[in-house]
Every structure is written in structure tokens, then in C-alpha cells.
Amino acid sequence: MPIVIYIKTNEMKKVYQIISILLVVAISSCASEQSLQEYFVDSAENPSFLQFDVPTSILNLNDTDISSGQKEALKSLKKLNILAFKKSDMNASEFEMERTKVKAILKNNDFVELMKMNTPYGKATIKYLGDEDAIDEVIIYGDNKEKGFAVIRVLGDDMNPANIMQLIEAIQKSDYSGDGFGPLEELLKG
């Protein structure tokens, strides 16, 4: 025998209200998760941030000086998006707030951590999006409590981690002077 539950009209309105509230909370919590790309766009107009793109062509690597794996890695790279926050006495509380936002975005399970390191400039983390053998984006995040923080998005198609490491070695061996990264260098020295 089926069980039938009768709900009075007032009780039904309460049930609808509760369901509506739960749906609004669920939808707004999903929508409130900001992507790293959205964070870059939202921060572009903020004077505390420095944002610029660097094309991979700026690396000026001569085809004859690099191996086939390094050539493949160079072809898979598109550009670097750089967003940096320069901390000052005037924006110390904003620095903490923005740093917290970036760290929350990078805690997303889509980002896979490659490594953490301590550098002369501060702490850094390298993460990626995509599959192990076909990375679409590498994220380098570094911060320094006195100077600020920087997020670098290395964008590409199906980047191979082994080839990327070979490319980094080729850049280190080349006579590349860091042209194009001047604003970031100033922040780090600042």
C-alpha cells in the first residue's frame, strides 16, 4: 500500500521557500569561484597591479642553437601573461586581500602542483592545467611580504614538461638578457 503525505498549503509554501533559498545559495557559490583568467581581467584596471603580456618570440632563440625537443617546446608556447602587485605602505591591507584571493584560486583542484621553491625574491609555486603529457597552462606564483606578488601564466598547446625543462635550459645558456620582463624585474628589485 503506497504511503501518501499530505502537506498543507502554508507548509508547501515554506518547502518552496527553502528549496528556492538552497538553489540561490548553490548557484551563487558556484558562480563566486573566480578563475585565474577572470582574476587577471578584473585586476587590469587596479592601479596597484602591473599587467603585461610577453610573446614567446621575445626569447630570440636561434633555430640552429636548440635541439628538436626544444624547438617543439618553443612551438607549443604562445605567450606569457604576467600580473604583479607591488606592495607599498599605502596598500598593505589590499595586498593581503589580493594575495588571499590568488591563493584561493590556485587551491582549485584543477591545478596540479609541480613544485614549490624558495628563491632570493621570495617563495614560489609552479602549477599546471591539463594532462601530464599535454599541459595547456603553467602557472608560476611567487610572493614576498615586503615587495608584493606576481602570477605568470605560461600559455600554450599540449606543452610537454620534459621539453619545457629543456627549453628553460636553452634560455639559460643563451644570451637572452631578460628583455620584455623589465617591469617585473623592477618590482622584484624594488
Using DSSP's 3-state secondary structure scheme, residue 16 falls into helix
Contacts 24+ apart (CB under 8 A), 187-190: 187/50, 187/84, 187/86, 187/147, 187/148, 187/150, 188/121, 188/144, 188/147, 188/150, 190/86, 190/147
Q: Within a 13 Å sphere around the CA of 169, how many CA atoms are in the beta-carbon half?
A: 11
pLDDT at position 177: 52
The predicted-structure confidence for 4-63, as pLDDT tens digits, reads as follows 555 555 555 554 455 555 554 445 444 457 899 999 999 988 999 999 888 877 766 666
Instruction: Write out the three cell numbers for 21.
Output: 533559498
pTM over 0.85: no
